[in-house]
Amino acid sequence: MLSCKQTIELGSKNLDTVLAWHQRLEMKLHLMVCHNCRRYIKHLRFLQKVIVSIDKQDSNIHLSEQARERIRKKIFSK
Ligand SMILES: [Zn+2]
């Protein structure tokens, strides 16, 4: 079974890319038994939705792609 660290890494990666089926399965198995990782992944998804909704709703805020990437890395890095 994956460690918590591996699960979080896969969870972060899963926000930007599609994981291989075995990675998704390993992650789901870990999340079934680990409340802390479930909560962490849930928060990551929430933050991603907030960032996307801010981008869509407020046209007065314009961030360059480089700025967005820096923010994403800060938020979603370990
Ligand atoms: Zn865990």
Q: What is the pLDDT along the chain (78 residues), one digit of tens a residue?
A: 899 999 999 998 888 889 999 999 999 999 999 999 999 999 998 988 888 887 676 666 677 888 888 887 887 775
Q: What is the pLDDT of residue 35?
A: 96
- The answer to whether 48 and 13 have CB atoms below 8 angstroms apart is no
What distance in angstroms lies between residue 31's CA and the mean position of ligand 1's atoms? 7
Which 8-state DSSP code applies to residue 3? Answer: -
What domain range includes position 10?
4-76
Number of domains in the chain: 1
Query: Residue 21, CB half-sphere, CA atoms under 13 Å: how many?
Result: 0
- The answer to whether 34 and 2 have CB atoms below 8 angstroms apart is no
From CA 11, how far away is CA 17, in angstroms rounded? 10
What distance in angstroms lies between residue 58's CA and the mean position of ligand 1's atoms? 35
Q: What is the pLDDT of residue 51?
A: 81
The count of residues in the chain is 78
What distance in angstroms lies between residue 38's CA and the mean position of ligand 1's atoms? 7
